[in-house]
Amino acid sequence: MNRGKLAGAVLGASLVTVAALSACNAPLRAGIDTAPDGDGTRFTSVDASSNDASAAEALLCIAHECPAPFETCPDKSGLCTTDLSNDVEHCGACDVRCPAEAAGVDAFFICAEGRCQMICRENAGDCDHLVDDGCEVALDSDPANCGACGNACAPGEICWQGACGCPPGTSVCNGQCVRLSSDPQNCGACGNACDQAPASAVTWRCGEGVIPDGATVSCVNSRCQTICQGSRSDCNNDFCGDGCEVSIEDDAKNCGACGTKCTDDQICFDRKCLCDPGSTRCSFSCVDLQSDPKNCGACGNMCPGPEGSSGSAVCVMGRCSYQCAVGYGDCDGRLENGCEVDLTNDVRNCGACGAQCDVAGGQPCIGGKCLTGPCDAGVIN
């Protein structure tokens, strides 16, 4: 068999496996501390061990050379455990490190296809294409690069939130777009602040200088006048009597709006009645006790286990469990270290817990499969 074609096929299969692992977040399995013997944790067909390999692929032998983009880099344990295509510490080659995140340049670096690439943060742009100054443009406010590099606004026009000019209904005041009809700092005109307005410029609904309980002077229809402030409301229409007597923030009889009543078993919190039927209230949250890992089976019953990219605590039908991310396995049965094995490159747990490659022979695990290649002289099957 042509060695090049076969090697390409093996590599192709490995890459497909890796791509699938990256794209899919489907749970590998559920079950706290399940560790097991291949059956519960396998995510690819495993040809682990030299015997398995020789039986399943009669023409394939154990291979040792890392297929691209994998490499054995000095600072990582195991064979072929570094993916040079996306490792920022080893981008394209071992020890080729992408620049660290630099303060003030609004950028960070990733390794993609074996090359370090600069990524701008939101609303920042690299318009001069120079890495040294990072993403030097504020795309949300730069009139010369408004929303995108080179997108210039008309002379005198401001760039507001990435678009030229102010949105309809707003006006420019001190370089900002404000709504003159309701902005208490710019009420009716730029700079006309209600809290500093002369008494004659305020509409006093209950007499000059009278501010009822829970009310304030704010901007309504471009005029400063006394109105309810914040979450306070005048639900009994007696503004000049008891003022804004209700807090719709937490009033179960006026929850979110006057007259909106919660049921007897609900509370009003953050302007909402808690909880809807079907969910359970734990303090001030509505949860599903059957699936919430912080309230599993009962309020406050937090499922144990480390949280991370390799696994997380889950709540399955009201019982705590632990779920490994795709490509990881809990091979030692210990909850405290979660899914401690990377099944994609662990030669002792290659593709599944306990599926061992030819460790003594230096056979690496690539994409969850013990590496094989075409048989040739000098390699013992």
Please classify residue 242 by burial: count the beta carbons closer than 10 Å to its beta carbon, then call 0-12 exposed, 13-18 middle and 19+ buried. middle
Q: What is residue 195's three-state secondary structure?
A: helix
Longest dimension (CA), the chain: 103
Residue 130 C-beta: closest distance to other proteins, Å: 52
Stretch binding other proteins (CB under 8 A), from 205-213, 214-222, 252-260, 332-340:
332-340
* DSSP string over 331-352: -S--STT-S-EETTT-TTSSSS
Instruction: Candidates 54, 247, 280, 337: give the one binding other proteins (CB under 8 A).
Output: 280
Residue 249 C-beta: closest distance to other proteins, Å: 18
Instruction: Candidates 7, 13, 20, 30: give the one binding other proteins (CB under 8 A).
Output: 30
Tallying the residues shown for the chain, one arrives at 381
Instruction: Candidates 36, 69, 243, 374: give the one binding other proteins (CB under 8 A).
Output: 36
Judge contact between 199 and 208, C-beta under 8 A.
yes
Residue 35 φ then ψ, to 5°: -135, 100
- Nearest-Å Rg of the Cα atoms of the chain is 32
For other proteins, the closer CB: 80 or 314: 314
Residue 40 C-beta: closest distance to other proteins, Å: 5
Could you say whether residue 88 binds other proteins (CB under 8 A)? no
Judge contact between 136 and 126, C-beta under 8 A.
yes
Instruction: Candidates 127, 353, 370, 371: give the one binding other proteins (CB under 8 A).
Output: 353
Stretch binding other proteins (CB under 8 A), from 57-65, 85-93, 165-173, 296-304:
296-304
For other proteins, the closer CB: 118 or 267: 267
Could you say whether residue 296 binds other proteins (CB under 8 A)? yes
If you ran DSSP here, which 8-state letter would residue 99 be given? Answer: P
Instruction: Candidates 94, 190, 252, 299: give the one binding other proteins (CB under 8 A).
Output: 299
Could you say whether residue 319 binds other proteins (CB under 8 A)? yes
Which structure tokens are listed for 101?
A: 């995140």
Helix (H) or strand (E) holding 110: strand 107-112
What is d(CA 237, CA 244) in angstroms, rounded to the nearest whole number?
9
Q: Which residues bind other proteins (CB under 8 A)?
A: 29-37, 39-40, 275, 280-283, 289-290, 296-301, 316-319, 332-335, 353-354
